[in-house]
Amino acid sequence: MSVKTRFDRAFDRELLKEIQEKLDQGLLPQWLQTDPDIYEMELNNIFSRTWQFLGHESELKQPGDYVTRWMVNDPVLLVKTNTGEIKAFLNSCTHRGTHLCTADFGNKKTFTCPFHGWSFNLDGKLIGIVAGNKVYGEAMDKEEWALRPIPRVETYQGLIFGNLDPNAMSLEEYLGDLIWYWDIFLKRSDGGMEVRGTPQRWIVNTNWKCTLENFGGDPYHVPTVHKSTVELGISPSDPLYSSYGHQVVLKHGHCVNVNVASPGANLPPYQGMPEEMWSMFERNLSKGQLDVFYKTTVIVGSCFPNLSFHCPIHGSEGHLHNYLTLRVWRPLGPEKIEIWSWFLIDKAAPEELKENAYKGYISSFGPSGTLEMDDTEIWTRVVQASKGTMARDKYLSYNNLYNYMMGMGKVEPDSSWPGPGTAYPTCYVDFAFRGIHEYWLELLAKDME
């Protein structure tokens, strides 16, 4: 007879209720990051039902251009067809399932399987079979063996998303009020944003929620984890410097932090973008968006479940510029993720600015970036220290709870904020973290109804 220990309690409705009760108190169990049962439920209830970022339209310029991506464990082939449509297929041959296209990007007229040589056109149709009729006979209906499309593919301002649930709500409904904030960078200039270079990707031993939270609601970590920038004089020494601004909690687990400069700091408007672009901003944005953008230093946040965005002011005096990075935190297990990071910049920006901004991004973020290394080290340590016997006690009886209390009962929403969502007048609060987990719990509970 097997003996149940206090550590292997099943993940059930009762436990979910207890987690919700803890969350209401600003607490969450430490084992949420590493528990394999939770990870399985996340794959089924979250990643199979929500919108995931696949890429940007500017990555697919000509018919035949393609990129290969992942929706967690589903390989995706994203193609521009001869009619200019963007299609997404499961990147797996319909004959015996091998990975059809293994290159990161390129241009092709047909995709030929490396296993037995079946060929598919840009619309996913099976157009060639090795030895054709001789082995399958005349009666084989090639239509039946076309590539399998990703059930839903929709775009917003050039951003392409896929959803594995054919009955999911529309992308626009899912993004909801996040659009108001995204438009500040996606719509501000004529022609919108374009991707420069190819996305960088690398593996980190952490959990996807850890990184989602970090970008979604953790400006509090900045003065400590990135202390070296303070020591070098790049960042202010005021420990509150990344608190100034607003943290906004939105529906569906999305969240945004809109930072402004420390009091007394003299930074240029519109994130240091050149003056010749200001009239575009004024034409393309609403008054509320323009007011926010005028004072903003950093817009950083997360789109549930695994996309984050970061739009900072960057550089040193006289050479300030701004760009956008998009991040996908692709889970590879409860303790491992593959990070994908895109660099985007206004299509209408001068070439010199684009190049300088790209260099600034590369030196700060990605595998070669100084700030990235700070964060990576810490994210890894969170998981490392959260899977021991004490941390994984599911009876919530040890003191193994994370503190998500910052701002609770202390900070009230700011009713004068011009944007949608619930906006708090500081970024050193945990409202975004709790918002992420409220929606996370809602989706996990669906399976248990």
Q: Which residues bind ligand FES (CB under 6 A)?
A: 93, 95-96, 98, 113, 115-118
Residue 309 makes CB contacts below 8 A (sequence gap 6+) with 182, 215, 299, 300, 301, 302, 303, 324, 325, 326, 327
Which entry of ligand FES, Fe ion, none binds 51, CB below 5 to 8 A by partner kind? none
- Give me the residue label for tokens 């999911």: 168
Nearer to Fe ion by C-beta: 58 or 235?
A: 235
Residue 425 makes CB contacts below 8 A (sequence gap 6+) with 246, 411, 414, 417
* Shortest separation between residue 60's beta carbon and ligand FES, angstroms: 24
Nearer to Fe ion by C-beta: 155 or 380?
A: 380
* Shortest separation between residue 79's beta carbon and Fe ion, angstroms: 35
Which entry of Fe ion, ligand FES, none binds 428, CB below 5 to 8 A by partner kind? none
Which entry of Fe ion, ligand FES, none binds 98, CB below 5 to 8 A by partner kind? ligand FES
How far is residue 338's CA from residue 336's CA, in Å, rounded to a whole number? 7
* Shortest separation between residue 375's beta carbon and Fe ion, angstroms: 4
Q: Which one, of 45, 329, 51, lies nearest residue 205 by Cα?
A: 329
* Shortest separation between residue 225's beta carbon and Fe ion, angstroms: 5
Supply 186's token pair: 């996606």
Which entry of Fe ion, ligand FES, none binds 295, CB below 5 to 8 A by partner kind? none
- How far, in Å, are 265, 273, 282, 400, 437 from residue 253 at the CA level? 32, 30, 30, 24, 7
Nearer to ligand FES by C-beta: 116 or 125?
A: 116
* Shortest separation between residue 97's beta carbon and ligand FES, angstroms: 6
Interacting residues toward Fe ion by CB under 5 A: 375
Please tell me whether residue 435 adopts helix, strand or coil conformation.
helix
- Give me the residue label for tokens 């589903």: 74
How far is residue 161's CA from residue 49's CA, in Å, rounded to a whole number? 12
Nearer to ligand FES by C-beta: 120 or 323?
A: 120
Which entry of ligand FES, Fe ion, none binds 93, CB below 5 to 8 A by partner kind? ligand FES
* Shortest separation between residue 26's beta carbon and Fe ion, angstroms: 22
Q: Which one, of 43, 40, 20, 14, lies nearest residue 438 by Cα?
A: 20
Which entry of Fe ion, ligand FES, none binds 375, CB below 5 to 8 A by partner kind? Fe ion
Nearer to ligand FES by C-beta: 114 or 388?
A: 114
Which entry of Fe ion, ligand FES, none binds 113, CB below 5 to 8 A by partner kind? ligand FES
Nearer to ligand FES by C-beta: 106 or 117?
A: 117
Helices 370-384, 351-364: crossing angle, 10 deg rounding: 30
